[in-house]
Amino acid sequence: MENINVLQTILIVLVSVFSVIGGIWGFFKIFFSYRSRFLFITNCQILHRSIWKDISKRYTIKQNGPQDHAFRPLVLLPHTLRKYSNIPNGAKAILECINPDKENNLKIIAEVYWIPDDMKPWNTINHPVFSLVLRRYFGIERPLYQDEDTAKGNWVKVSHSLEHLDPLHRRDELDGSMMHWAVNNNITFRYFNPWATEKEDKYTREPRKNNFIEYCGLSMVLRKRSIHLIEKE
């Protein structure tokens, strides 16, 4: 009888302990779920040398080589999106591609910086800016080297000015100021000119000197990391 009473006491204690732990965990999960805002991304622009130079100077960001901005998972967010996201400047966040055709979504941890509202001309950007490694990781674009003829079917060949970019793509044989790469056929694109005046069209289909390609038709979410979401670095 004494053994039974001891076991009952132990069970009651364990149930009480786990109930308290479960209650605390539930509270934090609900709290952080409420605090975490999802930023839905349907368009993105490319992170180029010129904008990164200004951003890194403003925030005193440590560089890891001259092409750090291309091969580092970086997302720049326009100041107009602050009301939709509470990700701190310089923090790491989870960028996830929603893929309805596959079982698992693609995820990556990216470093996030906000474009200041007084930084001209970049303060005219309305969509997130992705670094090269992110665009390739999510299959938005891929390079063209000896396989230019393979840019068919699921891929479309595009041209872009070299003016603000590092030479990380195949150069045009006839015009050394232009480069080529391939864009996923499921994504549309256009070119954005941040220097365009109010009377000029900010968007065009031509890859001019100060035009930056913008990809449209993405399905991604960006969210702040929290304690109830375990993501590896």
Sole residue written with tokens 């309305």:
126
In this prediction, residue 108 carries a pLDDT of 93
| Domain boundaries defined on the chain | 1-35, 39-224
In this prediction, residue 73 carries a pLDDT of 96
In this prediction, residue 21 carries a pLDDT of 65
pLDDT for 7 beyond 70 = no
pLDDT for 231 beyond 70 = no
In this prediction, residues 207-211 reach a mean pLDDT of: 91
The HSE-up count of residue 172 (CA atoms within 13 Å, CB side) is 14
Q: What is the tens place of the pLDDT at every residue in 128-176? A: 999 999 999 999 999 886 666 555 678 888 999 999 998 888 877 778 7
In this prediction, residues 170-198 reach a mean pLDDT of: 88
pTM: predicted TM-score of the whole model, two decimal places = 0.79
Question: Are 72 and 133 in contact, with CB atoms under 8 Å apart?
Answer: yes
- End-to-end alpha carbon distance in the chain: 54
